[in-house]
Amino acid sequence: MPAYRQNDTVRPVTSVRLHWRYRRGMLALREIMIWIIQAVLFGIGIGFAGLTAHLAGPLLATAFAIDELIPTAIVFFAVTAGLGWIGNRFWPEEWLFNPLL
């Protein structure tokens, strides 16, 4: 028997399961990373929708001669709905099972 097998200095490359503490820690880290990614994407989406509403809302209000709040809210919700649709279309629920995350 080789020396590295006698004192376990090198672990064999087999289908041996990881230690449960390591596995639990890595799953927790994965969950934390998923939450961070979702929070960053949510912030980017809300920022983009807010900027679009801030820029387009007053233009629409002037064009239709109505209060500025109404078209700003409409543009904001339209942009967020569009981003939500795009996110659902191109990043479906199966992304949770992506082995890279």
Q: Please report, for the chain, the start and end positions of each structural domain, with discontinuous segments joined by +.
A: 19-97
Report the alpha-carbon distance of residue 62 to residue 39 in Å, rounded. 34
pLDDT at 67 over 60: yes
Q: Is the confidence at residue 39, as pLDDT, over 80?
A: yes
Output DSSP code: residue 97.
Answer: G
This prediction has a pTM of 0.61
Read off the amino acid at residue 97: F
Entry field: residues in the chain = 101
Q: What is the mean pLDDT of residues 11-25?
A: 63
pLDDT on residue 8: 58
